[in-house]
Amino acid sequence: MGTLSPFGTAIRLHGVSKRFAGIDGIEVGVEPTDLDVAQGEIHGIIGFSGAGKSTLLRLINLLEQPDAGQVVVHGEDLTTLSPDRLRAARRRIGMIFQHFNLLHNRSVADNVAFPLRIAGESAARIRDRVDACLAFVGLSDKASAYPAQLSGGQKQRVAIARALAPEPHVLLADEPTSALDPRTTQSLLDVLADVNRRFGVTIVLVSHEMSVVRRLCHRVSVMEAGRVIERVSLDAGHIPPDSQLARWLNEFGGGSESAAPQGYAPHALAREAAHV
């Protein structure tokens, strides 16, 4: 893949694979795969359940150890690092999750402070970053609230603030809107687009929702059965009509041509969301 951005490559996966036995002993995971993400890009990974898209994402910060291959983030092969250096590298890679994964017994401010505290940052710096990040996601007034008092969309905003606190270069987003309603999804995607534009953070986003990927991403990797079967460049939401992505949209009732300005009508790929 050519590089989109003049700033170079943020993430390069080279021949990574991961196999593990899933439910019923069926092997799931990722077949040897390459992935290049340019600096400043928003890269989507889309596919059905079990396609290996979350596994591929989790290989980027080594939450999954690959069976083979290289994971290069900002020029550093993470698979060769000592545990200490891997932890340092992870501090520059933010991550958000479908179910937010906030600490429930800590206030919003303490959640955002968490990655800075464990990195041993000074109290003054922690205060500054917590204030700045909560202001960015529009939740300054909730600093002393607990996660249980927030809506799903607010929880995900806190998670974004937490991920941004250490000023990461890269943000990994694992189905970040799949537990949210369409309107909340839209405003959350605006926040993610803002993270990318204002701070130049490279984002890799896993989703099974076509509308999410179409709205946000510069490029998309389409996965099936552990392989990237297609890489598509989106031009302002336009999907090339001869792509697998376009065929899926046709097959499952969406339109492949129009850039679907609202684009949140439930389509087949969103059916998977029903069981979360």
Partner 1 sequence: MFDNIIELLPEIAKAINETLLMMAICLTAAVLIGGSLGIVVFLTSRGQVLARYRHFNLVANALINVFRSFPFIILLVAVSPFTRHIVGTSIGPLAASVPLSLAAIFYFARLIEQTLRDVPRGVIEAAEAMGATPRQIVTQVLLVEARSGLVLAMTVLAVSFLSYSAVAGVVGGGGIGDLAIRYGYYRFQTDVMIATIVLLVIMVQGIQLLGQWLARHVDKR
Give min distance, CB of 162 to partner 1, in A.
8
Which C-beta is closer to partner 1: that of 88 or that of 135? Answer: 88
CA distance 214 to 263: 9
Sign of CA dihedral 154, 156, 157, 159: positive
> What is each CA distance from 83 to 18, 90, 170, in whole angstroms?
20, 10, 20
CB 45 within 8 A of CB 209: no
| Residue span binding partner 1 (CB under 8 A) among the ranges 34-42, 44-52, 90-98, 180-188 | 90-98
- State the residue for tokens 């809107």: 177
| Residue span binding partner 1 (CB under 8 A) among the ranges 39-47, 85-93, 129-137, 244-252 | 85-93
Which C-beta is closer to partner 1: that of 78 or that of 134? Answer: 78
Site for partner 1 in 95-124 (CB under 8 A): 95, 97, 99, 101-106, 114-115, 117-119
- State the residue for tokens 């700045």: 132
Using rule CB under 8 A, residue 91 touches partner 1: yes
Which C-beta is closer to partner 1: that of 69 or that of 147? Answer: 147
Q: Which one-letter DSSP state was computed for residue 204?
A: E
* Strand-strand pairing, 27-38 and 227-233: unpaired
Among 15, 49, 68, 88, binds partner 1 (CB under 8 A): 88
Using rule CB under 8 A, residue 93 touches partner 1: yes
Give min distance, CB of 134 to partner 1, in A.
17
Which residues on neighbouring strands pair with residue 206, listed in sequence order?
Answer: 45, 174
CB 12 within 8 A of CB 35: yes
Q: Which residues bind partner 1 (CB under 8 A)?
A: 61, 63, 87-91, 93, 95, 97, 99, 101-106, 114-115, 117-119, 146, 148, 162, 166, 172
